[in-house]
Amino acid sequence: MDKFEEILHSYQENIEEDVKKRVEFIRNYVKDANAKGVVVGISGGIDSAVTAALAIIAMGKENVIGVWMPAYSDPIHERDAKALASAIDLNLVTVDLGSTFNNLAKEIEEIVSLNDLAKGNTKARLRMTTLYAIASVKGYLVSDTCNYSEIYVGYMTKGGDGLADFNPVGSLTKHQIRLLAKHLNIPKEIIEKAPSADLWAGQTDEQEMGFTYEDLDRYLLTGEGNKEVIEKIERLHRISEHKRVLMPTI
46 is in an annotated binding site: yes
Beta bridge partners of 42: 68
pLDDT score, position 24: 98
Sequence-distant (6+) residues with CB within 8 A of 21 are none
How many structural domains does the chain have? 1
Tell me whether residue 33 is in a domain. yes
82 annotated to bind ligand: no
- 18 domain residue, yes or no: yes
At residue 222, the pLDDT reads: 97
How far is 198 from 80, CA to CA, in rounded Å? 13
Is 248 part of any domain? Answer: no
β-strand partners of 140: 37
45 within some domain: yes
Query: Domain of 225: which CATH number?
Result: 3.40.50.620
Domain annotation covers residue 108 = yes
Q: Is 218 one of the annotated binding-site residues?
A: no
Is position 206 within any domain? yes
Q: Which residues pair with 143 in a beta bridge?
A: 40, 166
Partners of residue 40 on adjacent β-strands: 66, 143
Active site (catalytic) residues: 47, 150
pLDDT in the model for residue 198: 65
Mean pLDDT per 10-residue segment, the chain (250 residues): 94 98 98 98 96 98 98 93 98 98 97 94 97 98 97 95 96 98 97 76 76 95 96 97 93
Q: Is 191 inside any structural domain?
A: yes
Domain range for 59 is: 3-243
Rounded to the nearest angstrom, the gap between the alpha carbon of residue 122 and the centroid of all alpha carbons in its chain is 16
Residue 161 annotated as binding? no
In this prediction the pTM is: 0.94
Q: Is 99 part of any domain?
A: yes
